[in-house]
Each structure stands twice: as structure tokens, then as C-alpha cells.
A and B are shown apart, each in its own frame.
Chain A
Amino acid sequence: MAASISGYTFSSVCYHSANSNSDHEGFLLGDVRQEETVSISDTQISSAELVQVVEIHNHDPCAQLFSFYDYAGKVNEENLNTILKDRRKNVIGWYRFRRNTQQQMSFREQIIHKQLTQLLGVPDLVFLLFSFISTANSSTHALEYVLFRPNRSRYNQRITLTIPNLGNTSQQEYKVSSVPNTSLNYAKVIKEHGAEFFDKDGVMKDIRTIFQVYSALQDKVQAVCGEVEQSERVKEKIQEDVNKLKQQIALRKRKTAEEERKIREAQNADSHSSPEENTEPSESSLLSRITFHTPSAPERPSTSPNPPSYTDLLSQDDSLISSSSPPTSAALLPRPQAVGSPGHPTPGPLGMGLGMGLGLDRQAAGQEDDDDDEDDDDDEDEDSSEYENLVSEGAHLPMVSASVLAQGRPAALSPDGDARGSQTT
């Protein structure tokens, strides 16, 4: 249970009390409401917390002691009605002020409280006790207040009473209370001057203006979105045309190469009488083949808008292998792979088997790494190992890409599957 009292009510009660020359008492008016807080967290679905909130809006001081009860503490209902009149239904509690006494309900207060609970029909009637303590030499005075709900069990009787907005409101939120405003003057003034701030629907004018600005911005954004979409589509179309043209060029080149090869073969068949010179020409033909093959093959994967997956590339390479006789050419095709991986396309010695070539590649890569590290160590031996790694990687990258470029540029330039990208990840 929580309770709050508005600042002006509290100060009014204190004023009445402090100015009385004896004990003082009165009634508290307000209302009680139930607040349910539903909180959702990851662990539970939801949890609902039910809190009863007592809000004290006003108070009704009694003019004198024993005004509604007698010496035995018996409450006189007639007198009670005379004091409260039509405010009786708003009563949620009563208060008492006494100087220099303990913060404990007294004998008579307890008796009266029981009777009031019954007569007013408020099951959770609260009792606010003010006590004013002064030191012997009157140098320090303390006003203490405790809110009791005596109808509960003995150990659960005190409730914290908060006074909203009593504090630093620049840091805390200024709380608006739910006290109903019954002032006629206030209603009149608001009616007169309200038109400057509110429009006919009761909404503040500023809100509407801001909303209009927001709507305009939203429209503009929508328009820009449309334009962007259009330009993207145009770009896409152009890209498609470019790809088609590239494909045509490649096809034409292949055809001319095929024709030339046929012509050469025909020529070779003619000059078959000298077999010792076979190896050299075959080597030279291999080399020339290599120079021919490498630029063309990698272009395939790079020119498509959606770069083929690695498996596709492999299958393409396999088809290449099946079409062309020398198996080593497959090993020498640049593939988009990470640096340092076994299949790294570094320029290994020609004429070697696939496995050997790969092994050498590995070793070559390792050597490169060592070289890099050694260089870095010499230059920046004070740097941390992390830096060295980064630097070495960085140094590695251009080395690699350079080697790849030596093989065939397009590998480094393929849209997203390029060696550089895969290395950085």
C-alpha cells in the first residue's frame, strides 16, 4: 500500500496543528484506488502487481477536542455528521496532532478508530499521527508524521507517506496528481484564455502544427524513395546489358582461339618428322596455352552480377580440366580462397603434380609469412604481437593480391568473393 498527500494539504494540516495550543485532530479526505502494474520480463511471461494507493486531497480540522466523542471514547454519529456534512463519503482517514509524545496510537485513538471504521464504512481507514518534538532548550523542533492503518495486523501497520514533488523537480519528473480540480475561478480563466492554446477539438494547437511538419517530411521521404527505386531499376537494366555484351565478347574470343588452334594442329601434323624437338615445342605450347588460358578463365566468374559460389567455380574448373588435357592448369587457376590456405594460388613451379604444387604453395605461403614477420620484427620489434599480426596480414594482403594479379586480375576484383574480402573476415 502506498499513500501520498498533496503538498498544500500537508502544509495546511501542519499550519492548523502548529497554531493550536493543545492537541488537534481532524479528518482526511481523498480517495483510494487500485493500481495494477504489469511487468514483462524475459524470465516470466508477465507479473502483475496490485497496489492500493491512498491519496489525500484535503483535510477537515475539528474545532475542538471531544467534538464527536465522549469521555469514554464513544463516537457520536450525529456530531460526526454535523462536522463532515456531505464530505462524509470522501473520508479516507483521520489525523491527530500531539506534541512531545510517542509515535504510537494511544488508548482512546484506538477505540475511536475502531468505531470510525465501522460508522464510515471504510475498511482500511488510515490514521495520520503528527508529533512535534522540541528539545528542552527549544533549540530544535521536529515535526514527525506517521501514517498507520490500524486495521491490519500488528506488524504491518505503518505506511510510507510521500509528498509528490517535494524535492528537486529539475532532476525528477514533476508529477501531476489526480486531485480533481473543483475551483470555479480556475475553470473560468481557462475557458476565457483557452482558445489561444487549444483548438476547437480541445487539442493543443502546437501539437497540430508539429504533426503537419511531420507529415510533410514523411511525404518527401516517400517521394525520394520512389526516385531511388526507379534509378536502381535503370541501373540494373544497364548492368544486364553490359553483362550480355561481355558474354558475347568472350564467346567470340573463344571461337577465334579454337579456330587458330585447329590451324596450328594441322600445321603440327605436317611437321611430324623431327621428334626430339617435341618436348620444347610442347612446353612452349603449354606456356602459351597457359598465357592464353589464365586471362580468359577467371573472367567467367567475375562478370556475372551474382558471383558464383565456390562449388560452382570448382565445377567450372573441373569442366575446364576435362576439356583441356594438362591437369596442372587446374591447379594454376586462381581461386577465391583465403590466404594461407593450402590451395592458395601462388605462382608455383610449373610442370609439377597437383599435390606437389599445393604443397609448395603451402610452403610458399609459410615462407612469405615468415619473411613478413622477420621484416616486421626488424622494423618494429617493440610493437605488440597483435600489431605484428595485423601488419603482417596487411603486408600479406598486397603481396597476395599482387601474386593473384600476376595470375589474373579479375580474381581480386570479383564482387564479393574476392580474396581480400575473405581474408579480412
Chain B
Amino acid sequence: MNNMSPEVALHRISPELRPLLCNVVRNGRVGLDSTNCLRVTDLKTGCTSLTPGPCCDRFKLHIPYAGETLKWDIIFNARYPELPPDFIFGEDAEFLPEPSELPHLVHWDAGNPECLLQLVKELIQQYHHYQCQRLRESSRLLFEYDSLLEDPNYGHNMEIYAGRKNSWTGEFSARFLLKLPVDFSNIPVYLLKDTALDPGEDVALLSVSFEDAEATQVFPKLYLSPSIEHALGGSSALHIPAFPSGGCLIDYVPQVCQLLTNKVQYVIQGYHKRREYIAAFLSHFGMGVVEYDAEGFTKLTLLLMWKDFCFLVHVDLPLYFPRDQPTLTFQSVYHFTNSGQLYSQVQKSYPYSPRWDGNEMAKRAKNHFPLSSPITKTLLKEVC
């Protein structure tokens, strides 16, 4: 029942309340981590058990916030759908927002389907203020917060969750979730296409957990939306530096930001470089080109002839080209190995420099292929 899809949940809701909930479930993206939308579970009714359904009018709303999930109970009355709802804020028993700060509650309009979603957003804003207030228990963390707030890049895209990690020991802990202002718009489209799900908005979130009030145990973590992660070469490719002891967020966050930006730039550059490379090869080898990757420019296959001996050359361009050297695979067109594959030989080391442009690389390659003919000759010797 907890993993109910939104559509099933809507079916059980009292008809008068359905539009409100519809809006929340379909359009409800609150907070920084908007890849996870709001979830509704535990549908119950406030009517007598003899009332014929559907009459559910109270449920639990799951809201992602600062790496946590808030579970708030929302209570309507199906018999009086025009009345505004009541809330139980789960474990945050001390969170009591000022009603005057919630205009959508004060001027509740049951006829407006967006009313509930707007009210929830206002509540989350109040919750954010409440959490920031709680930071006052630790002057160190308050300093971190204030310093970040001053910076316009980060100040407005911040979620904070503060509280007692362990209610017995009373250790104070806090988590900062920051949206990094990195521009992903120039990443080539193809890199972003390979994900099965709707990638949603491209976002990079940095989560920094302070396990104690003196900031001696700090654990940063970078969250990327799936498409970005794939574009940058998977989760293993991106390592952020550890939080320096005694350092502070206002220094660390821009560092991470810069690192990410550099990576993105590199990827974009790589794409263009590969394109240039392939273009150069096309112009130099012209008729010898069998096929090439016209979207990502990652592969190129040439059919060459040397003294009546034809062979294929596969060029594989890595993601971080030109930093990483392309792999050349020489393949015979005449001979099979025992396993039924075409005889091939991989060559990774050959004269190469990342500073050459595409043209230069093509010229050098052209010169190198005859030089590699001893290899071809070896091929011939071995197979014949």
C-alpha cells in the first residue's frame, strides 16, 4: 500500500478533494531535490466505517528536504471539503509555524486545485526558517550558514536540516544541502540521451553533513542528476576533495563548484576535439573511411591497403580525449582466429601528443600506418 502509484491513490480519495491531491502529486516538486516528487501514502478516512467509498480524506505526505524525508500528516474532512486541512508534523513536534505566514491557509480556497500545493510550499519555507533557527545552538554552524547566506550564488539555494542526531546524548548535527550553480546547458545533447527514465532537471547538489557542533566530523557528498552523472563518465569518475579540517563551507563549496565546472568544460571540449579529429581523418583518408560515429564522434573505422594487403583500423576515442590517447585496433580482413573472430591487434602506444590539433594527428597517423607495416608483416608471417 505504501508503494501505491499516484493514480491508485487518487482513486480512493474523496471526489471533492481529488483535484487538490492531484495537483500535489503530479506537479509537486518542492525543494532543491526536485527529482523526487512528493509522495502520498497511508490513505485513511475520517468518516464512519459504514460510509461507502471512496471517502479517504487524510494521508501522509512524504517531502524530500535536505537529504531527509519529512512525513507530514494532512487531515481533511470529507464531509466538509471546503474546510482547510490540519497538519501533524511528524517527529518535529516543536515546529509550529505562525499562521499569518501562511497566506494560503488563511485564505484557503478549496476551489483552487493548487491551493494545497502552495500551502505545502509555504510550510516548507517556514520549516526552513525553523531549521535555521535551530542552528543557533551551535555558533560554528551558524557562522557557516551566515557566510553562505551572504553569497548570492549559494544563499538562495540552500536547505538546512538541523537537529539532535541522538536524542539521548544530545549531540547536535546538521546537514546543508546546496544546489551548485554549474551550467550544464552546453553539454552535448547526445551525452544526456542515454538514460531510460525522464532525467528531469539537470542539477548538482552538494550535501555536507556535520556530525558534531564543532565541525570536526564533516562528510561531503555530491549528488548529480542521472543524465549529468552519465555525461561525466559515471559516479566513479567524479571525486570531490575531502572537507579540510578547520575549513569552512564558504571556501569549500566554491572549490567543489569549480571542480565540477572544470569537468563539464573538459567534457564539452572533449566532444569538440573529437569532432575535429574525426573531421580531419575524414579529409585525410577520404575513401578509406568505412564508418564513423556521427553523433558522439567516439569511433572511426578505416580500411587501408598496403602493398596489396588490406586491413581495418578501428580508432576508439576516449571520453577525455585529447588527454587520453585514442586506441588503435588493427584487424585483418583475411584471417580468423581459433575462436572465429577476425585476427586483430590493439595498439595503444604510438607517437601521440594531446597538443596536436586534429589535422596534425591525422597527418601523423597517416605516416604511422606504413611504419606499422612491420606489424602487418608480422601478422602475415604468423597467419600464413
Interface set of A (CB-CB < 8 Å, partner B): 18, 21-23, 65-66, 71-74, 98-102, 104-111, 134, 138, 141, 154
Q: Which residues of B contact A108 (CB under 8 A)?
A: 86-87
- A–B Cβ pairs within 8 angstroms, 25 of them: A18-B48, A21-B51, A22-B47, A23-B46, A23-B75, A65-B80, A71-B83, A72-B100, A72-B102, A72-B105, A99-B44, A99-B45, A100-B45, A101-B46, A101-B58, A102-B88, A104-B88, A106-B73, A106-B87, A107-B86, A107-B89, A107-B96, A134-B49, A141-B49, A154-B93
Are B77 and A100 neighbours in the complex by a CB distance under 8 Å?
Answer: no
Considering the chains assembled together, what is the distance between the CA atoms of A111 and B101 in angstroms? Answer: 14
Q: Contacts A22-B78, A101-B58; is A71 near B84 (CB within 8 Å)?
A: yes
Q: Tell me how far the C-beta of A114 lies from the nearest C-beta in chain B, rounded to whole angstroms.
A: 9
B52 close to chain A: CB less than 8 A: no
- Minimum CB–CB distance from B17 to chain A (whole Å) comes to 13
| Chain B, Cβ-Cβ closest to A134 | B49
User: Among residues 97 to 123 in chain B, which have CB atoms less than 8 Å away from a CB atom of chain A?
Assistant: 97, 99-100, 102, 105-108
Chain A contacts of B49 at CB under 8 A? 134, 138, 141
Interface residues of B (CB under 8 A from A): 44-49, 51, 58, 73, 75, 77-80, 83-84, 86-89, 93-94, 96-97, 99-100, 102, 105-108
Question: A21-B48, A100-B58 known; A107 and B88 CB under 8 Å?
Answer: yes
Closest residue of chain A to B55, judged by CB?
Answer: A21
Q: Are B79 and A107 in contact (CB under 8 A)?
A: no
Question: Are A104 and B93 in contact, CB atoms less than 8 angstroms apart?
Answer: yes
Contact present for A65 and B77 (CB under 8 Å): yes
- Cα distance, A106 to B97, chains bound together (Å): 12
B residues within 8 A CB of A111?
Answer: 96, 99
Q: Which of A21, A72, A109, A138 contacts B86 (CB 8 A)?
A: A109
The 6 closest A-B pairs by CB, nearest first: A100-B44, A72-B99, A22-B77, A22-B79, A107-B87, A106-B86
Residues in B with CB closer than 8 Å to A102 are: 73, 88
In whole angstroms, how far apart are the Cα atoms of A377 and B108 in the complex? 105
Residues on B with beta carbons closer than 8 Å to the beta carbon of A72: 99-100, 102, 105-106
In the complex with contacts A21-B79, A22-B77, A65-B77, A107-B97 CB distance below 8 A: yes
Contacts of A134 in B (CB 8 A): 49
Residues of B within 8 A of A66 (CB): 83
**A104 CA to B73 CA, complexed, in Å:** 11
B77–A106 touching, CB < 8 Å: no
Given contacts A22-B47, A71-B106, A98-B75, contact A110 B80 (CB under 8 A): no
A71 touches B86 (CB 8 A): no
A106 contact from B79, B88, B99, Cβ within 8 A? B88
Nearest CB on A from B112, distance (A): 14
Return chain B residues, CB-CB under 8 Å to A65.
Answer: 77, 80, 83
Q: How far is the CA of A73 from the CA of B98 in the complex (A)?
A: 10
Given A65-B77, A106-B75; A100-B86 close (CB under 8 Å): no
Main secondary structure on A side of the interface with B: loop
> How many angstroms between the C-alpha atoms of A41 and B46 in the bound complex?
53
What are the residues of chain B within 8 A of A106 when measuring CB–CB?
73, 75, 86-88
Which residue, B75, B93, B94, B108, has most C-beta atoms of chain A within 10 A? Answer: B75
Chain A residues with Cβ under 8 A from B78's Cβ?
A: 22
Q: Which residues of A contact B46 (CB under 8 A)?
A: 22-23, 98-101
Residue of B nearest to A103 (CB): B88
* Complex: A389 Cα to B93 Cα, angstroms: 78
In the complex, which residue of chain B has the Cβ closest to the Cβ of A64?
A: B80
Chain A residue with the shortest CB-CB distance to B75: A101
Residues of A within 8 A of B107 (CB): 71
Residue in A21, A74, A111 whose Cβ sees the most chain B Cβ within 10 Å: A21
Kindly report which residue of chain B lies nearest to residue A157, judged by CB atoms: B93
Report the separation of the CA atoms of residues A69 and B106 in the bound assembly, to the nearest whole angstrom: 12
Residues of B within 8 A of A107 (CB): 86-89, 96-97
Contacts of B105 in A (CB 8 A): 71-72
Q: Which residues of A contact B45 (CB under 8 A)?
A: 99-100
Q: How far is the CB of A415 from chain B (nearest CB, A)?
A: 77
| Residue pair B77, A101 in contact (C-beta under 8 Å) | no
Residues of A within 8 A of B77 (CB): 22-23, 65
Q: How far is the CB of A136 from chain B (nearest CB, A)?
A: 8
Give the CA-CA distance A66 to B75 in the complex, in Å.
Answer: 14
A100 nearest CB across to chain B (Å)? 4
Q: Which residues of B contact A105 (CB under 8 A)?
A: 88
Q: How far is the CA of A166 from the CA of B89 in the complex (A)?
A: 35
State the CA gap A98–B87 with chains docked (Å).
Answer: 13
The CA-CA distance from A102 to B88 in the complex, in Å, is 8
Q: In the complex, A362→B94 CA distance in Å?
A: 91
CB distance from B320 to the nearest CB of A (A): 53
Contact yes or no, A22 B100, CB < 8 A? no
Q: Determine the distance from Cα of A107 to Cα of B49 in the docked complex, in whole angstroms.
A: 26
Q: Which residue of B lies closest to A135 (CB)?
A: B49
In addition to A74-B99, A99-B44, A101-B73, 13 A-B residue pairs with Cβ atoms within 8 Å of each other are A18-B48, A23-B75, A65-B83, A71-B105, A71-B106, A98-B46, A99-B46, A99-B47, A100-B46, A101-B88, A106-B73, A107-B89, A107-B96
Determine the distance from Cα of A390 to Cα of B291 in the docked complex, in whole angstroms: 124
Q: What separation, in Å, do the CA atoms of A167 and B324 have in the docked complex?
A: 84
| Closest Cβ neighbor of B46 among chain A residues | A99
Contacts of A74 in B (CB 8 A): 99
Nearest residue, chain B, Cβ from A111:
B99
Least distance between A74 CB and chain B CB atoms (Å): 7
Docked pose: A66 CA to B85 CA in angstroms: 12
**A110-B96 in contact (CB<8A):** yes
Smallest CB gap from B72: residue in A: A107
* CA A395 to CA B244, docked complex, whole Å: 100
How far, in whole Å, are A352 and B87 apart by their CA atoms in the complex?
A: 112
Shortest A99–chain B CB gap in Å is: 5
Contacts of B97 in A (CB 8 A): 107
A-side contacts of B75, CB under 8 Å: 23, 98, 101, 106
Which chain A positions have C-beta within 8 A of B80? Answer: 22, 65
Residues of chain A within 8 A of B89, CB atoms compared:
107
For the complex formed, measure the closest distance between the CB of A134 and the CB atoms of chain B, giving whole angstroms: 5
**What's the nearest-Cβ distance from chain B to residue A48, in Å?**
34
User: A18's closest neighbor in chain B, by CB?
Assistant: B48
Q: What residues of A have a CB within 8 angstroms of the CB of B94 in the complex?
A: 154
Q: How far is the CA of A18 from the CA of B49 in the complex (A)?
A: 10
